Structure 1
Amino acid sequence: MKNNKPALAGLTALGLSLALALTACGGNSASTAASTGSVDLSAAQEVLAEAQATVTEFDFPTDTVDVPKDKFVVGIPCAYAAEGCKRGVDAVAEAAKELGWRYQMIDPAGDPDKMRAAVRTAIQLKADGIFLGATPPAVVKDDVAAARAAGIKVVNMYEPAPEDFADANSLQDHPLAGRWNAAYLAVATQGGAKVITINDPEFVSVVEWNQGFVDGLKELCSTCEITKEINFQIANLQTQVPTEFQAVLQANPTANAVWAAYDPVALAITPVIKRSPQDGKISIVSHNGDAAALDAIKAGDQPFKGSVGYSIEWQSYAAVDQMIRLFAGNLPEELKLVNVPEKLLTQESITTVPWDGDLDWKSEYKKLWKTEN
């Protein structure tokens, strides 16, 4: 399967500028310890430069495709109230309208039973295609199998899945994103990171982010350590996480960094940090690149310092391209998995809110889709 990787520009120069720019990150000076000889952070700095570099190229499909008419597609988000899930299916709806397809959204509101019911409803409605947005594959695997057996094409977006789960997958490189988080904290703490991790293992994507972070920290910073691990489930985000994190923070007064599963976690714990003695001494890194998260990072006075973002809309258009080719009967093997670009978004590297991917990906896809006037 194809693993699309963006080409990145200016890594060496950016690496030097980042080493200087990070000196202003919260209370954690990142004047490179590599230059003083205390800790060798050269590898971390190189990874950090890669993480924040501008995306300049992407391996788009090269063959145009005739868009089949009169198709009916259903979008099923994890929960429409969640920003990322909403943006994902809204982009599918936008593309479907441009293609002249009928579209319907079925919102399970984060409830696993309703996720399964949404897929069954799409079968009953005789949909031609289903777009799954951040739906845990283990929750809906039997219903998705029934949909595919009924001749419905299924494209899975955002959440890693077994190879035989869907007809196509539009994702991003989760372990790499976690490694980028590790590089940031290694440099920001001059190789002295004492990290609290807050993990949501119900999502495979988060598990992969976490593993990439853990492995990356070991590889890039031998003097960094994870001092405490917290696990939770998204249903308990607002009730459990702030309270438990406050207790953990009090028990670990030397902690100077937090790895958070995704942006809403980072935003939920920010008030806890702001009213603690560690305010100004802790840096948070996360994932998603949500608008509220990027606003907090841009402000510069918050503990939230970086989020690995990707263009959710780009990912949706890549999924629509896959669906068109599935309908047309010519989705090549190398396009059954598409990884869209991602970027570590910090105060220095944020260009748009939300991040637009640095490229005009929408025009590139629309040029490939041939519709009758």
Structure 2
Amino acid sequence: MTLTRTICQASAAALLVGASTGIAFADEAADGLARATEIIESHRALPVYEPAGEPFDIRKVAEGKKMLSIPNTSANQFLKGIIRREIEVGKEIGLEVREWENQGQPNQWVQGIEYAIANDFDIVDLISGVNPAVVEPQLQAAKEAGVKVFTSHFYDPSQPASEHLAGDLPVSFYGQGYILGNWMIYKTGGDARAIVVKSDEVPPTAPLVQGIRDALSENCPKCEILQEINVGITEWGTKIQPSVQSALISKPTANYVIPIYDSMSQFVVPAIELTGKSETVKVATSNGTPFVLDFIREGKVEMDIGESLDWIARATIDGYMRNLAGLPMPEDIGVPYYLFDESNIETAGVPAEPNKGYGDEYVKGFHKTWMMD
């Protein structure tokens, strides 16, 4: 009898411990979901413009100046859209802007910087993905020739910029990843199982993916990244689709694919469709490229973290012109994130346009800051 009573008491104690552990786990999950929801809702408000510094006469600084923008590849529609806006904004203020067309080969980036030096450009803009480390001799030659080379939308604020640059305008890639991670938590109620598509050769990939990991770690005990697929920029068109298809087959419980740069989505969406998982596997991504916003309206992508391409172009030029004027450059590019999903995608236009959906107050703000009113 004594032994039986002891066993029963031990069993009861074990049940109480198990119950309390289960309650604690449930509380942790509920708290994490609440935090994720708050983070997501905070990025649904229309972005607000804040000046990067004191007002200055930008037309006086820009007059007669030339800028060459070199994207990591001209196939990247997000970067093409930014450069198109840089060209138009340049016309507003008297700055000549050109794009250096390339196919993502480092020797082509070298040729672009050499072209800028030979043709008396004042600025070279290495925009999002051109790694300064692979063109250091050209950066030094540009410096000696009086050509200022900057990076924009490339480094995360946590990453030190190359000492060979005249300056840089970082963006919080970590923040993008953190939003993506919390989005999955928010939409699944704390049960996200993700396949992440990335390009490790691009330095900001590391903080962006870390942001996803940290969001899941902090706010979702059950959530996990099932697989990370690394594909080089020049191989997106050939390797992303088959790699994602294979991952979806080998990881049948996956409910999200996260292409961390939204231009990857053009290869991710067909992979999901061909494996017959369009109903069970969702896509969330970042950048706000118009064709991906169209994917949202078509039901092929669930969410895209939008960045106004026009806003990025204006902020980039603002920072560079401040440097030329002897004013402090901003600590980062300062372009807010805005979430697009089925609830507000129509505001981006049909078809989507690079700069619709963000309002127009920021344009008035830049004009006032630039003394153009």
Question: Where on the TM-score scale, by shorter chain, does this alignment land: which range?
Answer: 0.7 to 0.9
Q: Secondary structure of the residue that 1:55 maps to in structure 2?
A: coil
Measure how far apart 1:207 and its partner are: 2.4
Measure how far apart 1:295 and its partner are: 0.9
Structure 1 vs Structure 2: percent identity of aligned residues?
25
Q: Which residue in the other structure is 1:213 paired with?
A: 212
Find out whether 1:343 has 2:338 as its counterpart: yes
Judged with a 3 Å threshold, the aligned counterparts in structure 2 of structure 1 residues 139 and 309 are, in CA distance, closer, same or farther, namely farther
Q: Which residue in the other structure is 1:62 paired with?
A: 54
State how far apart, in whole Å, the 2-side matches of 1:339 and 1:142 are.
30
- Greater mean alpha carbon deviation, residues 200-209 or residues 270-279: 270-279
Which of 56, 80, 85 is matched with 2:79 structurally?
Answer: 85
State how far apart, in whole Å, the 1-side matches of 2:315 and 2:28 are.
45
Q: Secondary structure of the residue that 2:43 maps to in structure 1?
A: helix
Cα pair 1:47 1:180 within 8 Å, conserved: yes
Find out whether 1:130 has 2:124 as its counterpart: yes
- Choose 1 or 2 for highest CA Rg: 2
Cα pair 2:152 2:333 within 8 Å, conserved: no
- For 1:337, give the aligned amino acid: D
Q: Which residue in the other structure is 2:4 paired with?
A: none
State how far apart, in whole Å, the 2-side matches of 1:103 and 1:184 are.
37
Deviations 1:39-89 (A, max 9, x none): 311111111112322213424433223523322222222233321121222
Q: Which residue in the other structure is 2:29 paired with?
A: 39
Structure 1 residue ranges, 4+ long, deviating more than 6 angstroms after superposition = none
TM norm structure 1:
0.82
Q: Which residue in the other structure is 1:286 paired with?
A: 285
Find out whether 1:309 has 2:309 as its counterpart: no
State how far apart, in whole Å, the 2-side matches of 1:253 and 1:336 are.
43
Measure how far apart 1:359 and its partner are: 4.4
Cα pair 2:55 2:371 within 8 Å, conserved: no
Judged with a 3 Å threshold, the aligned counterparts in structure 2 of structure 1 residues 179 and 38 are, in CA distance, closer, same or farther, namely closer
State how far apart, in whole Å, the 2-side matches of 1:46 and 1:240 are.
36
- Larger helix share, 1 or 2: 2
Q: Which residue in the other structure is 1:235 paired with?
A: 234
Measure how far apart 1:316 and its partner are: 1.6
What pairs with 1:44-55 in structure 2 (closer than 5 Å)?
Answer: 44-55=36-47
State how far apart, in whole Å, the 2-side matches of 1:127 and 1:111 are.
22
- For 1:39, give the aligned amino acid: A
What pairs with 1:177-192 in structure 2 (closer than 5 Å)?
Answer: 177-192=176-191
- Greater mean alpha carbon deviation, residues 242-251 or residues 70-79: 70-79
TM norm structure 2:
0.82
State how far apart, in whole Å, the 2-side matches of 1:101 and 1:55 are.
27
- For 1:71, give the aligned amino acid: K
- For 2:115, give the aligned amino acid: T
- Larger strand share, 1 or 2: 1
What pairs with 1:118-197 in structure 2 (closer than 5 Å)?
Answer: 118-134=112-128, 135-160=130-155, 162-163=160-161, 164-197=163-196
Cα pair 1:168 1:322 within 8 Å, conserved: no
Cα pair 2:259 2:268 within 8 Å, conserved: no
Q: Which residue in the other structure is 1:362 paired with?
A: 363
Q: Which residue in the other structure is 2:315 paired with?
A: 318
Deviations 1:311-358 (A, max 9, x none): 122112112122222222x2225x253331112222224332335444
Compare relative contact order (CA 8 Å, sep 6+) and give the higher one, 1 or 2: 1
Cα pair 1:194 1:227 within 8 Å, conserved: yes
Say what the alpha-carbon RMSD is for the aligned residues.
2.3
Unaligned 5+ segments in structure 1 are 1-35
- Greater mean alpha carbon deviation, residues 306-315 or residues 344-353: 344-353
Unaligned 5+ segments in structure 2 are 1-25
Q: Secondary structure of the residue that 1:307 maps to in structure 2?
A: strand
